Chains A and B, each alone.
Chain A
Amino acid sequence: MRERAALVVGLIRDYTSWIALAIVVVLFSNLAPAFLSVTNLMSILNAASIVGLVAIGLAFTLLAGGFDLSVAAIMLAGSMVFGTLFMNQHLAVGEAMLLSLVVTTALGLVNGLVITKVKLPAFIATFATMFAYNGMGIGLGGGAAIYNVTHPFFTFLGQGRLGVAPMPAVIFILVAIAAYLVLRTTPFGRAVYAVGDNDKTAHMAGINVDRIRIMTYMISGFLSGLAGLILTARLEVANVTQATIAGYSANLLDAIAAVMIGGISIFGGEGRMHGLIGGILLIFVLTNGIAILGMTITYHMLAKGLLILLAVGMDIYFRSGVSLRRR
Chain B
Amino acid sequence: MNYAVQMKGICKDFSGVRVLHSVDLQVEEGTVHALVGENGAGKSTLCKILAGFFPREEGEIVVNGEGIGKLNPRRALELGISMIYQEPNLAPLMTAAENIMLGQKLGFIVNRHQLFRRAEEILATVGFDLNVRLPVSYLSTHEKQLVEIAKAVSLDTRVLIMDEATAALTLPQREHLFAVMRKLTHQGIAIIYTTHILPEVFDIADWVTVLRNGENVGTHKVSEVTPEEVIEMMVGHKLSRAAVERGQVGSEVLRLENVSNLPEVRGVSLSLLQGEILGIGGLAGSGQPELARVIFGADRMDSGEMYVLGKKVDFKTPSDAIKCGIGLVPRDRKEEGLLPRICLGHNIVVPSLPALTRLKTILDHHQERAMVQNQICRLDIVPPTSGKVMEEFSGGNQQKAMIAKWLARKPKILVLDEPTVGVDVRTREYLYDTISELAKEGISLLLMSSDLKEVLRLSNRVLLMRKGRFVAELPGDPTMEDEALRIVTLTEQE
Contact = CB atoms under 8 A, between A and B. Distances in A.
B293 to A, nearest CB: 9
A207 interface: yes
B151 interface: no
A211 to B, nearest CB: 11
B346 A206 contact: no
Interface string B345-362: 010011101101100011
B382 interface: no
Given A322-B389, A323-B391, A187 B353 contact: yes
Contacts of A270: 341
A326 interface: yes
Chief secondary structure at chain A's binding surface: helix
A269 B362 contact: no
Interface in B114-135: none
Chief secondary structure at chain B's binding surface: helix
A39 interface: no
Contact of A187 (B322, B330, B354, B405): B354
Contacts, number: 82
The listed residue with most B CB atoms (<10 A of its CB), out of A185, A187, A269, is A187
Nearest to B337: A201
Interface in A43-66: none
A326 B328 contact: no
Given A187-B353, A191-B353, A204-B330, A269 B363 contact: no
Nearest to A198: B339
B363 A185 contact: yes
A269 B339 contact: yes
Nearest to B390: A197
B391 A205 contact: no
B350 A190 contact: yes
A260 interface: no
Contacts of A197: 339-342
Contact of A326 (B322, B365, B392): B392
B298 A204 contact: yes
A12 to B, nearest CB: 16
A119 interface: no
A194 B405 contact: no
A185 B362 contact: yes
Contacts of B340: 197-198
A190 B346 contact: yes
A191 B389 CA distance: 16
B342 A206 contact: no
Interface in A141-190: 185-187, 190
Contact of B353 (A190, A198, A204): A190
Interface in A200-228: 200-208
B319 interface: yes
Contacts of B339: 193-194, 197-198, 201-202, 269
A198 B405 contact: no
B66 interface: no
A269 B350 CA distance: 14
A4 interface: no
Nearest to B389: A322
B362 A186 contact: yes
A90 interface: no
B211 interface: no
Nearest to A182: B361
The listed residue with most A CB atoms (<10 A of its CB), out of B350, B361, B391, is B350
A182 to B, nearest CB: 9
23 contacts: A186-B357, A187-B353, A187-B354, A187-B356, A187-B357, A187-B361, A191-B353, A200-B336, A201-B336, A201-B337, A202-B339, A202-B350, A203-B298, A203-B318, A204-B318, A204-B328, A204-B336, A205-B318, A205-B351, A205-B405, A207-B319, A269-B342, A322-B389
Given A193-B342, A203-B317, 13 more contacts: A186-B363, A187-B353, A187-B354, A187-B363, A190-B349, A198-B336, A200-B336, A204-B328, A205-B351, A206-B317, A208-B317, A269-B342, A323-B391
Task: List the 3 closest A-B pairs by CB distance, nearest first.
Answer: A206-B319, A187-B353, A206-B322
Interface of A: 185-187, 190-191, 193-194, 197-198, 200-208, 269-270, 319, 322-323, 325-326
